[in-house]
């Protein structure tokens, strides 16, 4: 399990509770009738709702709202709220991996296409449902972005419950990370003493030890973006995250940045992202994708264009680019979805990275088009 990403770890844990298909896919051996849809083959349809793969089990909730004629933003927020509430997804909300001081800090944003409004919150502590908080900023204030302590106090005033977001699982991983990074920890990270220490923290549980070693060696990012188009062609999106594990307190990624981690234009479509947010912020990825779709590119082509801009920032140097992973997801007004990943896959030799699509019939995984057809174990 050493090279597994936590997204894969989470998806594997879905297999027992949701679908055998997700589990088999990640083992790289899907029967033909369960293969993920090829991205280019996903037709345009309305209503439709998509997310990163970790939202697969929650898309039904958003589709129910769309089918009843509900609002597209309510649908998208309902999906990500399921993931924020889940202590087993340590990339988002409750149970998210914390900053270097052991505090979970969350970022989120929303855009509502039909009313051309946006809301976002960043570096928020002790509030679990930050996508709904971003929606509340949008609905109840004339601001767009609120951060830190002010955002937390606003949440409390609006009736959000305050809570400790650190689960026992993420606290233990943080303790192991702290021991690995402490100046006072003499034996060193790769020493038998450190490994013994980590074994004791996790009561000899091999899967948890391997996972902790992985996220300590490669501090992960993780997020859920969700985009919805209703029958009429109205569009909304949200993105929510606990951001980069072990970040410096106050670090903000792309997820709450309107035009980077989330972007909607009701005439065109929606875009979102997961992965190393700093790279997305530097190219205004969400906005880039919307403008590419406006000029006629398909959602998948527009996502590839954004990845191309990131690659150009490094002169296409694959060695430098292999130090991170990033994904873009898009949905156009006609209900055509698309997604692309910088690398083909970052955790196993077979298969592609995937995202989740609910086209009104069922929630399925679809392939992300890779920008580079290689695997990157650092993702």
Annotated catalytic residues are 223
Around Cβ 204, how many Cβ atoms within 10 Å?
A: 9
| Shortest Å, Cβ 252 to ligand ASP | 8
The residue whose Cβ lies closest to ligand ASP is 253
Main-chain phi, psi angles of 366, to 5 degrees: -125, 155
CA distance 120 to 273: 15
Q: Are 274 and 254 in contact (CB under 8 A)?
A: no
| Shortest Å, Cβ 255 to ligand ASP | 5
| Shortest Å, Cβ 277 to ligand ASP | 2
| Shortest Å, Cβ 94 to ligand ASP | 16
Helix then strand then coil, % of the chain, to nearest 5: 40, 25, 40
Tally DSSP H helices, then E strands, for the chain. 13, 13
The residue ranges that bind ligand ASP (CB under 6 A) are: 221-223, 241, 243-244, 253-255, 274-277
Of residues 212 and 336, the one with the C-beta less far from ligand ASP: 212
| Shortest Å, Cβ 223 to ligand ASP | 3
DSSP string across 55-116? GGGGHHHHHHHHHTT--HHHHHHHHHHHHHH-TT-TTSSTT----TTS--EEEEEEEETTTT
Of residues 113 and 277, the one with the C-beta less far from ligand ASP: 277
Of residues 230 and 279, the one with the C-beta less far from ligand ASP: 279
Of residues 135 and 341, the one with the C-beta less far from ligand ASP: 341
Q: Are 226 and 48 in contact (CB under 8 A)?
A: no
Q: Which of 208, 216, 218 is nearest to 176 (CA)?
A: 216
Output the six-digit token pair for 323.
């130090």
Of residues 127 and 179, the one with the C-beta less far from ligand ASP: 127
């Amino acid at each position: 399990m050493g090279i597994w990403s936590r997204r894969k770890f989470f998806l594997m844990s879905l297999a027992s509770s949701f679908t055998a298909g997700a589990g088999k896919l990640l083992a790289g051996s899907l029967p033909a009738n369960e293969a993920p849809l090829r991205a280019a083959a996903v037709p345009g349809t309305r209503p439709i709702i998509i997310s990163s793969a970790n939202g697969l089990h929650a898309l039904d909730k958003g589709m129910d709202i769309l089918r009843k004629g509900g609002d597209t933003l309510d649908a998208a927020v309902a999906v990500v709220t399921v993931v924020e509430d889940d202590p087993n997804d340590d990339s988002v909300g409750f149970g998210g991996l914390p900053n270097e001081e052991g505090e979970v800090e969350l970022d989120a944003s929303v855009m509502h296409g039909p009313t051309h409004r946006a809301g976002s919150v960043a570096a928020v502590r002790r509030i679990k449902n930050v996508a709904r908080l971003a929606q509340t900023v949008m609905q109840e204030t004339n601001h767009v972005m609120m951060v830190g302590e002010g955002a937390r106090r606003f949440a409390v005033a609006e009736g959000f419950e305050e809570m400790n977001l650190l689960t026992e699982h993420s606290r233990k991983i943080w303790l192991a990370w702290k021991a690995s990074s402490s100046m006072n920890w003499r034996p060193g990270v790769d020493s038998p003493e450190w490994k013994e220490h980590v074994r004791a923290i996790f009561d000899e549980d091999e899967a948890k030890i391997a996972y902790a070693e992985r996220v300590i060696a490669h501090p992960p990012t993780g997020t859920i973006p969700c985009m919805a188009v209703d029958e009429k062609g109205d569009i909304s999106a949200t993105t929510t995250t606990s951001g980069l594990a072990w970040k410096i307190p106050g670090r903000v990624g792309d997820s709450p940045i309107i035009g980077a981690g989330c972007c909607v234009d009701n005439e065109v479509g929606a875009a979102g992202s997961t992965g190393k947010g700093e790279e997305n912020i530097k190219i205004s990825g969400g906005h880039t994708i919307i403008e590419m779709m406006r000029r006629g590119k398909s959602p998948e082509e527009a996502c590839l264009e954004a990845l191309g801009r990131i690659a150009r920032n490094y002169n296409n140097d694959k060695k430098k680019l292999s130090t991170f992973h990033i994904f873009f997801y898009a949905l156009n007004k006609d209900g055509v979805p698309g997604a692309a990943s910088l690398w083909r896959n970052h955790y196993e030799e077979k298969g592609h990275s995937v995202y989740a699509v609910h086209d009104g019939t069922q929630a399925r995984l679809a392939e992300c088009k890779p920008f580079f057809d290689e695997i990157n174990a650092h993702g």
